[in-house]
Copies of this chain bind each other. A is one copy, B any other.
Amino acid sequence: MQHFFQQLSTFLESKYILIQDEDKAPYLTDWRKRFTGKALAVLLPSTSAEVASIVRLCAQHHVSIVPQGGHTGFCGGATPDNSGTQIILNLKRMNQIREIDIANQTITLEAGCILQNVQVKAAEQGFLFPLSLGAEGSCMIGGNLATNAGGTNVLRYGNTRDLCLGLEVVTATGEIWNGIKGLRKDNTGYDLRDLFIGSEGTLGIITAAVMKLYPLPISQWTTLVACENITSSIALLNLFQKRANSLLTGFEMMTQESLELNEKHFPHMANPLQGKPPFTILIELSDHESEAHVKQLLEMILEEAFESQLISDAVIASNLTQANAFWHMREHITLAQAEEGANLKHDITIPLSALDSFIQETDELLRDRFPGIRIINFGHLGDGNLHYNIAPPLGADPKTFNASNEKPIHELVYAQVERCNGSISAEHGVGQLKLDDLRAHKGDVAHELMKTLKRALDPQNILNPHKVVSI
């Protein structure tokens, strides 16, 4: 590889070519610490031209490339394999905001921009950049695009895909596709943009993007309500969609079992609703008119929900601190699970009309077959997206339990998902974690189409090989 590094050094300063073990180490293990790989080197380019040069050089030397941003993914998509022959191409130095276009309501960003910084920069200009998720303090926009990240605002603003208007991408042959356009309509041929979005760096390397901005809402109201069952939770969702329409920006569901685990590890985060309701729903309305308007609307809808017996209790946050506390309660479930020990995660989507039967049947099948397990079920109900996670029985050693039960539990859950015409990966992607699951559940025609696309766009198989799809 001497020749490779010699050529590399002609266009990338040596301090941006990490080859010592201690320098590479921070880039080798994924956020959940499920995967650790090795790497020939970690490269830190700062321009698209450098990225393109790296790809051309790698193509010439048959070196495969693992693109990486904030490295916060849940599926090991940005973690290298164990061969030690791959390079990591980390884009964190490509962190410029190239332009904020006020009239067009767009922001042009490089892949290495940290999500939270983008939110802040947009807000300084009076705009909302709606993408919001747990890792926003460290995840990067390139990774958000590569995985089509979801989060809590999807209900109103869509996934990362829906926020993107244009891309700049380095292809597997090291060419730069300049698709950096801020257009709401563009029907000039195949949708290259959406093909690269969500492809997890296996078809091209996203180096920059034009993203949509929205006017900042001037008032947000958050409430927690108690529902007896999923059917009434969905009827409540439909009621809010009908009355509040696009003012509805959050509709999150937490089972009592999830909130009890939360309270166990974070006692100050007890459910403020009395009587341990089976389902607690967090609802957020965002308004561009006035605080009085949105408050009145919220109260009117809640009144109708009480009258229709869809809810049995409600607490409206009286100030921003309390609203944040409601959201923290929702967000801390994941942390409570981590405190409790290793667990089996399922990031799934079910059509809302099938959600009730999915949960009832799957809960029952699992509890029958794996007595004592705890089902930590919560998620973005408005999108039909459940984080349907399984913790071992109290007292059982998580590692031992998971080692023997991970596979049958995943298989049972994913078979149920397939039966309900759902998705085995709602918002976290595939990476290496779900490579086999995807092959098993995607359907042969779709899987063959994916392989055809991979072979066509990356015939040398050098872009993040054996992630998403293997050829």
Contact = CB atoms under 8 A, between A and B. Distances in A.
Interface of A: 101-106, 126, 147-148, 150, 154-155, 158-159, 161-162, 171, 175-192, 194-195, 197-199, 203, 214-215, 217, 234-235, 238, 241-246, 288-289, 297, 349, 351-353, 380, 383-385, 421-430, 434, 438, 441-443, 445-447, 449-450, 452-457, 468-469
Contact of A184 (B106, B154, B297): B154
Contact of A288 (B155, B215, B244, B443): B244
B428 A187 contact: yes
Given A103-B235, A183-B426, 9 more contacts: A103-B352, A103-B353, A183-B349, A185-B427, A186-B425, A189-B468, A190-B450, A191-B191, A191-B199
A62 to B, nearest CB: 20
Given A191-B161, A243-B288, A443 B178 contact: yes
Contact of A238 (B103, B190, B426, B445): B103
Contacts of A154: 184-185
A443 B168 CA distance: 13
A185 B383 contact: yes
Nearest to A235: B103
A272 B14 CA distance: 69
Contacts of A424: 188
Between A102, A243, A449, the greatest number of chain B beta carbons within 10 A of the residue's beta carbon is seen for A449
Between A103, A198, A234, A244, the greatest number of chain B beta carbons within 10 A of the residue's beta carbon is seen for A103
A148 B101 CA distance: 26
Between A147, A189, A442, A453, the greatest number of chain B beta carbons within 10 A of the residue's beta carbon is seen for A189
A103 B234 contact: yes
Contact of A194 (B195, B423, B443): B195
Contact of A187 (B238, B425, B454, B455): B425
A5 to B, nearest CB: 28
A199 B190 contact: yes
A187 B352 contact: no
Contact of A421 (B159, B181, B184, B188): B181
Nearest to A165: B351
B234 A183 contact: no
A198 B191 contact: yes
Between A186, A203, A288, the greatest number of chain B beta carbons within 10 A of the residue's beta carbon is seen for A186
Between A159, A175, A353, A450, the greatest number of chain B beta carbons within 10 A of the residue's beta carbon is seen for A353
Contact of A181 (B102, B423, B445): B423
Contacts of A171: 445, 449
Between A159, A161, A234, A289, the greatest number of chain B beta carbons within 10 A of the residue's beta carbon is seen for A289
Between A179, A184, A192, A351, the greatest number of chain B beta carbons within 10 A of the residue's beta carbon is seen for A184
B426 A185 contact: yes
Nearest to A186: B423
A154 B424 CA distance: 31
